[in-house]
Amino acid sequence: MTDTAPSTPARAEPSTGMGLVRRLVGVFVSPRATYADVAARPRWFGVMAISVVLVAGGFFAFLSTEVGRQALLDQQTRLIESFGVNLNDAVYAQMESGIERARYTTAAGQLVGFPLVAAVIAGILLGIFNALLGGDATFKQVFAIIAHSGLIGAAQTAFSLPIDYVQESMSSPTTLGVFAPFLEETSFMGRLLGSIDLFQIWGILSLAIGLGVLYKRRTTPIATTMFVVYFVIVATIAAIRTSLS
């Protein structure tokens, strides 16, 4: 994690800037230079379209299989029961019925929800950095940064779903919980580590780099603040689930 704010953004292409493919790759291999180009030329549609189609298409394909539907049903059952709710036969049958439509509803939710969530986050970050910290970025610039950092989440889907299919489970294979299999899954630490995902951490760091480049601020304070918020939310949810189980 870098701790130095660049006085000027990394040099982008003089006229049209990076093309879509270069930005797609650059988010993973040279994020600072890529985000400098995005800040100078805030294009978001192509990147967001690829992320949404990849995630929505991946879940549609996964949930079109019997393995995927059963894995989703098992995950929903465990999640509900982890909050201390006992499912009766009627509710379980209703959940089974809904699973048949899950490939459509999940894909549609990604197509609609991803841009909306990105817009809400962009509005919040714009308010924090512009109104409270004196920045002067535009909504389009912040939204484009978020759209590009969303590629990390799309990569997580592409990486995780094949593993989920083989394991016949939707338990994320990229959480810290995989490094502590000796912990009881229903314990606080088990739930906590099982909720902290390495791709989410990567995505937060990537977004922090992008915001640092856009606002010409150091990455470390931005990333640290975002990580603290993330861990507080995850720990709170883990504590609530543990107390209710």
| Domain boundary assignment for the chain | 20-244
Asked whether 168 and 67 are in contact (CB, 8 A), the reply is: yes
Residue type, 151: L
**The pLDDT value given to residue 245:** 67
**Closest C-alpha to 175, from 161, 187, 191:** 191
Cα–Cα distance, 128 to 115 (Å, whole number) = 20
Q: What number of CA atoms fall less than 13 Å from residue 69's CA on the CB side?
A: 14
DSSP string, 57-100: HHHHHHHTSHHHHHHHHHHHHHHHHHTTPPP-HHHHHHHHHHHT
Asked whether 199 and 174 are in contact (CB, 8 A), the reply is: yes
pLDDT digits (tens, 9 = 90+) for 7-66: 444 444 445 789 999 999 999 999 999 999 999 999 999 999 999 999 999 999 999 999
**Which residue's entry shows tokens 């000027």?**
8
**The pLDDT value given to residue 14:** 47
**Closest C-alpha to 148, from 69, 37, 241, 68:** 37
Phi, psi (5° rounding) for residue 175?
-90, 165
Residue type, 17: G
**Which residue's entry shows tokens 């989440």?**
153
pTM to 2 decimals?
A: 0.87
**The pLDDT value given to residue 244:** 78
Cα–Cα distance, 49 to 191 (Å, whole number) = 33
Per-residue tens of pLDDT for the chain, all 245 residues = 445 444 444 444 445 789 999 999 999 999 999 999 999 999 999 999 999 999 999 999 999 999 999 999 998 888 887 777 777 777 778 888 888 889 999 999 999 999 999 999 999 999 999 988 889 999 999 999 999 999 999 999 999 999 999 999 988 899 999 888 888 888 899 999 999 999 999 999 999 999 999 999 999 999 999 999 999 999 999 998 888 76
